[in-house]
A and B are shown apart, each in its own frame.
Chain A
Amino acid sequence: MDALATAFGLVFQPYVLLVIGLSALYGLFVGAIPGLTATMATALLVPVTFFMAPVPAVAAIVTATAMAIFSGDIPSALLRMPGTPASAAYTDEAFNLTRKGQAELALGAGLVFSVLGGIFGVLVLIVAAPALAEVALKFSSFEYFWLVMLGFTSAIFIAGNDVLKGCTSMLLGLLISCVGLENPAAAPRYTFGNAELMGGISLIPLMIGMFAVSEVLRFALARIKPVMVVDRPFGNVFAGMWTLIKKYPLQLLRGSALGTVVGALPGAGADIAAWMSYAVSKRFSKEPQKYGTGHVEGIVEAGAANNSALGGAWIPALVFGIPGDSITAIAIGVLYMKNMNPGPMLFVDNPQNIYAVFIVFIVAQLLMLPLGWLAILAAKRILRVPAALLMPLILLFCIVGSFAINNTLFGVVIMGLAGVLAFFMERWGFPVAPTILGVVLGTMLEEHFFSSLVKADGQLWPFFERPIAGALGALVLLIWLWPLGRRLVRLVLRAAG
């Protein structure tokens, strides 16, 4: 109870509340501009959070991302352009509602069900994370090894739609993680005699490059001219929301639950949660023929899913140090910088910080209602800000932010190269999320594999001996062998008849 009181004290102080307020406005603005993603918002925030205490630093990230994911719905409804990829699943639905003269319904449903889904995700996080941490306290290197493997497996087989390209992306990330001295033999790998590379590739400039610089390059190649379809003052966006809640309680619950689970899976974040929820919603709807014509049911379910995914993604990030999505991959980097190393011991040693993160999550969701409403009212002004004026400023921010992490221009070099790499990867259909996972988890994979191997005296069987390790290992192998097994079953069935 003392820890909880301390946590309230840590959050409810003027400085932290100011950080939350400013991050909220920043997140709403960035999310509402098409082409600027929630992940980009987080990557650009990191250099600033570098100079903050742990709680305001995490508060800034949590608040900005939650707001950005919601405000991505605004240009979806008004311009048919998702502000962030998380809104892409139901962009047509929202835009068609607007064309029917029901912009308020589209925006209101986006806001209200984002808040409800977000609160669901946070509640699951609050209940599940400490319970999982208690179990994780008993984990040895064997369990951690299989958890890391499960992370890679889920990012490639579950989150992606092209296993070969997902696998390539992950291996590129692992290759990047090989650079430096941090390996079992402490031998310099791929440092080419450069002292800056001895410590490895700095994660934050890499992230800024992959998520922000690549976006600036993409903008330079495909400039978009938004066209506004609504030129009248908005009515009450909250009108009819209670009716929607009463009409679609199952959709709300299903979207929130699926979003939380997908968010918790490594490599899959809010955008995949929204696509899956939209598909599930249509599949089980009583009126599937109305989907795509401006039907609010899909927005209810997928809108709840993308925000609940945010809370879900923090579960593996806080308990195991395994990111649930690209945003938490960045957040894990920040936690390490702040000496809040993620893992079950964080719940034992620093429970007040964990409770403070939970409180921030709830405050952010509650703030979303009034601030989101204001963002909708200001939407027409925000959307008129030309992206051509923002992109160069974002680039300067990226450069200075990458420099600020270690006060060296080498960070800017990493940022530039990472930007080019991510730009071409996306252009050629290679997903970026598995690369980030590879970079974040590469060292962890090597460390746990080697300490397990030493314990096992070079044998492989002990990797499956402990019950949880065995179950996780079996699950990983099952997912890997599933496509092969399915093909074999088909062959046998065809041969039989």
Chain B
Amino acid sequence: MRAVDLRVGIALALLAAAVLWSAQAFPVVPGQRLGAGFLPKLVGAGLGLCGLGLVLRSLRGTAYDNLVAAPTTSWRDIASALLILATIAAYIGLADRLGFLLIAPLCLLAVFRVLRVGWGPAMAWALGGTLLVHVMFYKLLRVPLPWGLLRPFY
């Protein structure tokens, strides 16, 4: 956890510098000395101090570990997590173009496969899950889920 704390501390200090720099540009409330920049400046200063604290603590070796050790993970597991994030990104990018009824089963199928569910159950659950969510949100709750390519058939 010490090495992680060191890196996070440096990242926090950089974030704090960016926040403090950006806060200079915010206007003050008319008739007051403070304004929209007050809270960001306070947060920036606080994050800077916390970042510095983490760096110093990890350099001095007094890191408080509330985890016994940083969990170890295989590359395959990391790839799984990244694929799940990629699925969310694909939904965001393609939902309007393809429509919910096409993109949702593809996303579900991808995540089922990432979690090593067999092809048969994965396809069945992907279709069933899509229909369930469609009925619940589109039909019952009237959420305007996108139709995309299927618009002409609706």
State the A residues within 8 Å of B (CB): 47-48, 50-51, 161-162, 164-165, 167-168, 171-172, 174-175, 178, 183-187, 189-190, 213, 216-217, 219-223, 388-389, 391-393, 395-397, 399-400, 403-404, 407, 409, 412-413, 415-416, 419-420, 423, 427-429, 442, 445-446, 449-450, 453-454, 458
Contacts and interface: CB of A to CB of B under 8 A. Distances in A.
Contacts, number: 175
Interface string B121-147: 100011001101100110001111100
A164 B145 contact: no
Contacts of B104: 396
B46 A171 contact: yes
Contacts of B64: 161-162, 164-165
A450 B94 CA distance: 44
B115 interface: yes
B80 A221 contact: yes
B84 interface: yes
B13 to A, nearest CB: 11
B62 to A, nearest CB: 11
Contacts of A446: 38-39
A161 B66 contact: yes
Interface string B85-120: 101110110011000100010011001101111000
A454 B31 CA distance: 9
6 contacts: A168-B47, A184-B38, A213-B88, A221-B78, A221-B81, A445-B39
Given A167-B46, A221-B80, A392-B125, A404 B137 contact: yes
Contacts of B126: 392
Nearest to B126: A392
B8 A428 contact: yes
Nearest to B108: A392
A222 to B, nearest CB: 7
Contact of A400 (B43, B73, B111, B137): B137
A220 B50 contact: no
A391 B111 contact: yes
A190 B43 CA distance: 14
Sorting the interface of chain B by its residue count into under 10, 10 to 19, 20 to 34 or 35 or more gives 35 or more
A472 to B, nearest CB: 19
Interface string B27-49: 11100111110111011001100
A220 B114 CA distance: 8
Contact of A428 (B4, B19, B50, B53): B4
B143 A407 contact: yes
A171 B47 contact: yes
For the complex of A and B, list the 6 residue pairs with the smallest distance between their C-beta atoms, beginning with the closest.
A392-B111, A185-B36, A187-B36, A388-B115, A220-B80, A168-B50
A97 B98 CA distance: 54
A429 B114 contact: no
Given A171-B43, A187-B26, A395-B84, A453 B32 contact: yes
Contact of B88 (A47, A178, A391, A399): A399
Contact of B54 (A164, A388, A454): A164
B96 to A, nearest CB: 7
A357 B108 CA distance: 37
A449 B34 CA distance: 11
A223 B73 CA distance: 11
A328 to B, nearest CB: 23
A216 B84 contact: yes
B92 A389 contact: no
Given A187-B35, A454-B32, A413 B133 contact: no
Contacts of B132: 393
Nearest to B57: A164
B59 interface: no
Contacts of A442: 39
A407 B146 CA distance: 10
B22 interface: yes
B77 to A, nearest CB: 5
Nearest to A164: B53
Contacts of B125: 389, 392-393
B71 interface: yes
B50 A171 contact: yes
Given A184-B29, A403-B143, A407-B143, A190 B22 contact: yes
A454 B32 CA distance: 8
Contacts of B112: 388-389, 392
Contacts of B8: 428
Given A216-B84, A428-B4, A389 B117 contact: yes
B150 interface: no
Interface centre among B77, B84, B112 (most CB of A within 10 A): B84
Contacts of A47: 137, 141
B66 A162 contact: yes
A186 B92 CA distance: 30
A204 to B, nearest CB: 13
Given A161-B64, A416-B92, A392 B115 contact: yes
